Structure 1
């Protein structure tokens, strides 16, 4: 069951990041004037998708707390790096974010670190 809590943490984290990026992209650039910035950000905060992203972050935190009851943090925390990998891959597919050799090598190193760390339990 502990691994399901970690998976829940990752899924909710990735969902929240992707939804926030999607909605911020749709809203456009941050205005220059202070008052316009405040109105812009308030409109974003009232957006149901943005609210779902914040709710997702809250659910991720609940899953993480549950995972902490099952695992040492030194074992569980490296699994959070999977969220980096998933956000990278999904942002490339969904938003057309660039995929460079440097990013791929960096993510491969993150995954290698996860594999090494998970073997040390």
Structure 2
């Protein structure tokens, strides 16, 4: 049951990151003048999709707190981090047309291998 909390943390974090990136790109670059930056950021804040990204981050934090009742942080965090890295990268490529380089692929594979090594002989549920 505890893994549902890890999955929820990953899902809602990835959703928030992707939705923020998708919508912020629609608004263009951050202005140069400080007053224009503030107005720009407030305009972003009131975009319903961007707001949903913030809500999603809050929900992800609730799932994270629940996960902390079931797992040691040293166990749960690497799983979440590798899941975030993998899903955000893949979905960024597929949904946002982001670039992929061989170095990025190798780096992600090395991180996933490292997480596998960490868990190959680790107790999981506290």
TM-score (norm 1): 0.96
1:93 maps to which residue? Answer: 94
**1:50 maps to which residue?**
50
Deviation at 1:31, TM superposition (A): 1.0
For 1:45 and 1:51, locate their aligned partners in 2 and report how far apart those are by CA, in whole Å: 6
Say how many residue pairs are matched: 121
Which runs of no fewer than 5 residues in structure 1 stay unpaired?
Answer: none
- Rounded Cα–Cα distance in structure 2 between residues aligned with 1:34 and 1:58: 28
| Alignment partners' CA distance in 1, 2:48 and 2:79 | 29
Which secondary structure does the structure 1 equivalent of 2:38 belong to? helix
- Provide the rounded CA distance (Å) in 2 between the counterparts of 1:2 and 1:52: 25
Q: Quote the offset at 1:36 in angstroms.
A: 1.1
Q: Deviations over 1:15-62 (max 9, x none)?
A: 000000001100111111111111110000111111110110101000
For structure 2, the 5+ residue unaligned runs are none
Paired with 2:111 and 2:83, the residues of 1 have a C-alpha distance of 8
Q: Which segments of structure 1 move beyond 4 Å, counting only runs of 4 or more?
A: none
- 1:105 aligned partner: 106
How far off is 1:118 after superposition?
2.1
- CA distance in 2: counterparts of 1:118 and 1:10, whole angstroms: 18
